[in-house]
Structure 1
Amino acid sequence: MIRISKIEYYLPELILTNRDLEKEFPEWSSERIQEKVGITQRHISSENETVLDMAIQSSEKVFENYDRSKIDFILFCTQSPDYFLPTTACILQDKLGLNKNIGAVDFNLGCSGFVYGLAFAKGLITAGIANHILLVTSETYTKHIHPEDKGNRCLFGDASASVLVEKDMKAGDYKFCLGTDGNGAENLMVKKGGFRTDFMLNPKHEFGPEYLYMNGPEIFNFTIEKIPGLIKEALDENELTIDDIDYFVFHQANSFMLNYLRRKTKIPTEKFYIDMEKTGNTVSATIPIALKDMQHKGLLKQGHKVLLAGFGVGYSWGATIMDF
């Protein structure tokens, strides 16, 4: 029904290495950081660089050898938009010189955003509203992080990924499994910035409400509780088994969590892709970045079935299967 026909991504020029962090936090060695989260460096957006700027970069790469006039819808996933209004997707349409008779919308999701974006794209294509969709996941979480928050600074990086999702009747018609539990909302949150903060501010964490707060242990507990069941559900709903899947690509949260999930779900190591060493956790962009890197390495080939799973802030989670 739908197929990902092209993936490109953009990483900011500024690089923050583990050695850089070690200089700021001598109690944390660069080796310890890599061992803990599987990251040696992450890219950081410059002071004046936004999700829109990065989206333009990744999207222009997509349009190399592709007719941009085919695009009939933009889906833009971000939790750090340039403005409350207007919609970043609308500005992107103009900046890219796309047709004006197209749809364009932002949606606010984090680490599950890419899977949800594919679900939205499938809905638009199935309904006959669009056939060639530009799905963008762009995030600058590092702008939300306090300079002294060494845990989150070790983990997160900035990036934008642009993906072409197109109608393809030869591709499998796979079901999506989506989930939500807003009871865990405060475990990963930026309190300041929305209208509620202006009138009902009640900060609960040391760096203040304008900075990213993450309750790591609770996020880990949520993940190990929900995601194994999500993977089973996605396989069962599509009448497939682990043996039928060529690769499993999860949101690249951190290597410790991913390896725990792999063991818990009994996925063979050779089918489970982990590679966030040079980029860090780029939130909604991690899955498309991983897929592009797999293509570059020759791992992802035509005919492969890949199970994608995203999970995190919200709480929100989703999984589906894609043919490549």
Structure 2
Amino acid sequence: MRALLVVNPAATTTSARTRDVLIHALASEMKLEAVSTEYRGHARDLGRRAAEADDIDLVVALGGDGTVNEVVNGLLHNGPDPEGLPRLAVVPGGSTNVFARALGLPNDAVEATGAILDALRERTERTVGLGLAAGTPGTDDEGVPERWFTFCAGLGFDAGVVGRVEQHRERGRRSTHALYVRQVMRQFLDDPHRRHGTITLERPGADPVEDLVLSIICNTSPWTYLGNRPVYASPKASFDTALDVLGLKKLSTPAVARYGTQLLTSSPERGPRGKHAVTLHDETDFTLHSKVPLPFQMDGDHLGLRTSVTFTGVRRALRVIV
């Protein structure tokens, strides 16, 4: 077996020594080429190279969710082809590692490497669904290129929080859960649209859902983690179905307290609910329109401002080693 290992040297929870140990462990079981990323988008370029090669069977992403997202977008540059594309394996190296943990992998890089090697020996894998987002034809965002996401996307409030965290990281701050909590509060205080939503969700054969302040699109569950605590925005979301949506129409102080508590106490059986909450399950095609440009994020990566995004849930898009 020939494999390409894509290494993010800036991964927050692995050291250079740990990465060397993992590389040697993987190289003992396969013909391995290890490449460290050098710029934003490099992991995507490496994934595309692997997809276009004739002799690469496996791509291993060692890094956080951003690295995984780039590799996936490279692999699926020409669209999904589960039987024709290299398989993907993920060694978690970020601060949250939602995709790897949702697959059931250990959150420790060394333990996850052992689990991947066991899975390769036992020939166990699964084919997962993914989400695809693109600019909507006929709008100002028409030319925005399509992009895949592995576990979540968001337009509005939560994407604004992600953008704030990225600004702090660019100034040298570590991405901690305490940092996220502080930015949630600051986004709440500064968001001019939290009482009167600007987002409309449209889907074929259904009435539009209007006046959303927040829209979270989930491809799996949980949505994220606070330390070791899973947070379920859409408990029914699954890699085996299309996309789930949680929308909120109001973020007043009482509403934030209520929905925040529901998220912190959420479970695989019960997520946020109430008269201002909209939940949709297993949606294949829908579009979010906003009256004003709003922050947009995919897999925890802030992508700027958008006014219209079209989403597609693609079942059985990629083979993953588990």
TM-score clears 0.5: no
Answer 1 or 2: higher relative contact order, Cα 8 Å, separation at least 6.
Answer: 1
Query: Which structure has more strand as a fraction of its residues?
Result: 2
Query: Which structure has more helix as a fraction of its residues?
Result: 1
TM-score normalised by L of structure 1: 0.31
TM-score normalised by L of structure 2: 0.32
